[in-house]
């Protein structure tokens, strides 16, 4: 029996972010994961600037160690490809100068990135890390929660339970009551390829909007060593309605699309195509209750447009750690006191995810995507404006307003 103020279940980015933030706040924690690291995690592998910003705030030495790795590739923008084939390169920073230590985003295999984070956990004396232990039962007690695993081999009694065990969290579903709503959920498949041709020299990630898979999209994210994370995603309600087989759809795009077919003619599939589900943050969900908080994918905090969840997992983990600090200070772990966590997550991440959902619905129409591509293509002023929107939410909100695009069209 281990007694602790806080037990964190799940050592992915959200759980590790929580544990590290608590550690730097001087609060010991117990961190549990069913896997033994390093381990694979099916994902698009994109790491947003939120992650590196938060790591730098926590400890610049962590970011320096990250930048010294060879596992990641720095990313400087997004290439959107409309159904009509029009390409739009939108840098994350206007007039950027490449510098790996200040890249606005990265791509790294989760196998490597999550293991890097776990190594940072191992550096901290006040984080008790248990790997290879599967939690099987949660029992609420007067003190908080009793967490049992590995047929009773592990028992942890905690005043606070932080659930960060991913998109398929049993606790989130059975205890917290977060039901899967297919209108706010996506299915995706990803594969690794070597020798995909014509990747961006500045490692722009690619999003392809293709008629046959609308309203989903096909992606190519560059990786070190000339490899790429390649995948396809679509909202789950549409998948079910159309009875789409994502693995088959991915293969058809690569083999039949006139441009992509040429780029993949000498490419080699590495390993197998794997699928995964994404609970999207396009509607507000309860993230806490008596003596518990949900972090990252377990709280359905995945961006509805991009499918990126690592940045939001990090943010929610930091917020959960700071909320726990207040719980300990006031000796209050009640559901009512923990509503402050839900409110802060909504304030920091909610507006962004709701905007992403509006943009997701807007981009579901090929004719509209083509029209927008035609408006933007070749217009340096609009491209510069869109570049600024990456770091300016107020500007980004304009994207979902029809009048913004009418003005852009009139000024062409």
Q: Express each pLDDT in 64-104 by its tens digit.
A: 999 999 999 999 999 999 999 999 998 988 777 787 667 88
The total number of structural domains that make up the chain: 3
Residue 22 covered by a domain: yes
**Which of these, 92, 74, 73, lies nearest to 396 by C-alpha position?**
92
pLDDT, tens digit (0-9, with 9 covering 90-100), for 32-45: 999 999 999 999 99
Beta carbons within 8 Å of 113's beta carbon, 6+ residues apart:
13, 45, 47, 71, 72, 310
**Are both 312 and 254 inside the same structural domain?**
no
**Are both 205 and 324 inside the same structural domain?**
no
**Are both 228 and 186 inside the same structural domain?**
yes
Beta carbons within 8 Å of 125's beta carbon, 6+ residues apart:
none
**Are both 139 and 20 inside the same structural domain?**
yes
Burial of 379 (0-12, 13-18, 19+ CB in 10 A): middle
**Are both 238 and 336 inside the same structural domain?**
no
Residue that is last in its domain, among 279, 301, 335: 279
Residue that is last in its domain, among 220, 254, 279: 279
**Which of these, 46, 13, 35, lies nearest to 233 by C-alpha position?**
46
Tokens 């964190």 correspond to 8
Q: Are the CB atoms for 273 and 253 separated by under 8 Å?
A: no
Residue 114 covered by a domain: yes
Cis before 216 (ω within 30)? no
**Are both 11 and 141 inside the same structural domain?**
yes
**Are both 216 and 160 inside the same structural domain?**
no
Tokens 């750690």 correspond to 321
Beta carbons within 8 Å of 94's beta carbon, 6+ residues apart:
384, 387, 388
**Are both 291 and 353 inside the same structural domain?**
yes
* CA dihedral (240, 245, 247, 253) positive or negative: negative
pLDDT, tens digit (0-9, with 9 covering 90-100), for 161-175: 999 999 999 999 999
What's the CATH code of the domain at 55?
A: 3.50.50.60
**Are both 333 and 242 inside the same structural domain?**
no
pLDDT, tens digit (0-9, with 9 covering 90-100), for 330-374: 999 999 999 999 999 999 998 888 888 888 888 888 888 888 888
The pLDDT, as a whole number, for residue 359 is: 82
pLDDT, tens digit (0-9, with 9 covering 90-100), for 248-276: 999 999 999 999 999 999 999 999 999 99
Q: Are the CB atoms for 92 and 387 separated by under 8 Å?
A: yes
- Whole-model pTM? 0.92
In eight-state DSSP terms, residue 141 is: -
**Are both 231 and 161 inside the same structural domain?**
no
The pLDDT, as a whole number, for residue 95 is: 78
**Are both 44 and 170 inside the same structural domain?**
yes
The pLDDT, as a whole number, for residue 399 is: 67
**Are both 188 and 270 inside the same structural domain?**
yes
Cα separation, 13 vs 95, in Å, equals: 31
Q: Are the CB atoms for 359 and 80 separated by under 8 Å?
A: no
Q: Which secondary structure element, helix H or strand E, spans residue 62, and what is its range? A: helix 60-67
Q: Are the CB atoms for 345 and 316 separated by under 8 Å?
A: yes
**26-35, 306-315, 396-405: range with highest mean pLDDT:** 26-35
Domain region containing 51:
2-72+103-180+282-360
The pLDDT, as a whole number, for residue 394 is: 66
pLDDT, tens digit (0-9, with 9 covering 90-100), for 364-405: 888 888 888 888 887 777 777 777 666 665 666 666 666 666
The number of beta carbons lying within 10 Å of the beta carbon of residue 302 is 27
């Amino acid at each position: 029996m281990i007694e602790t103020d806080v037990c964190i279940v799940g050592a992915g980015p959200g759980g590790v972010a929580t544990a590290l933030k608590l550690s730097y706040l001087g609060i010991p924690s117990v961190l549990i994961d069913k896997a033994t690291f390093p381990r694979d995690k099916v994902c698009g592998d994109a790491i947003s600037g939120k992650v590196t910003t938060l790591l730098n705030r926590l400890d610049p030495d962590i970011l320096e160690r990250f930048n010294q790795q060879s596992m990641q590739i720095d990313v400087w923008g997004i290439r959107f490809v409309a159904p009509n084939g029009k390409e739009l390169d939108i840098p994350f920073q206007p007039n950027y100068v490449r510098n790996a230590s200040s890249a606005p985003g990265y791509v790294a295999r989760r196998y490597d990135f999550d293991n890097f984070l776990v190594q940072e956990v191992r550096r901290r004396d006040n984080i008790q890390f248990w790997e290879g232990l599967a939690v099987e039962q949660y029992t609420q007690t007067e003190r908080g929660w009793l967490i049992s695993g590995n047929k009773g081999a592990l028992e942890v009694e905690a005043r606070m339970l932080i659930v960060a065990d991913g998109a398929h969290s049993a606790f989130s579903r059975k205890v917290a009551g977060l039901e899967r709503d297919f209108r706010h959920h996506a299915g995706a498949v990803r594969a690794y390829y070597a020798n995909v041709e014509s990747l961006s020299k500045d490692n722009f990630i690619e999003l392809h909007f293709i008629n046959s898979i609308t309203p989903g999209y096909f992606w190519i994210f560059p990786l070190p060593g000339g490899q790429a994370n390649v995948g396809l995603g679509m909202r789950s309600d549409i998948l079910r309605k159309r009875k789409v087989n994502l693995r088959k759809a991915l293969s058809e795009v690569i083999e039949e699309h006139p441009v992509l077919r040429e780029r993949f003619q000498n490419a080699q599939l590495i390993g197998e195509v794997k699928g995964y589900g994404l609970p999207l943050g396009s509607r507000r969900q309860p993230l806490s209750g008596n003596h518990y908080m949900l972090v990252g994918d377990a709280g359905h905090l995945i961006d509805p447009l991009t499918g990126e969840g690592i940045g939001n997992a990090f943010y929610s983990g930091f917020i959960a750690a700071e909320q726990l600090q207040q719980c300990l200070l006031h000796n209050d772990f009640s559901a009512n006191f923990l509503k402050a966590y839900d409110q802060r997550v909504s304030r920091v991440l909610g507006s962004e995810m709701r905007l992403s959902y509006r943009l997701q619905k807007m981009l579901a129409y090929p004719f509209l995507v083509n029209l927008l591509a035609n408006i933007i293509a070749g217009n340096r002023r609009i491209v510069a404006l869109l570049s600024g929107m990456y770091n300016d939410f107020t500007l980004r909100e304009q994207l979902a307003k029809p009048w913004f695009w009418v003005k852009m069209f009139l000024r062409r």
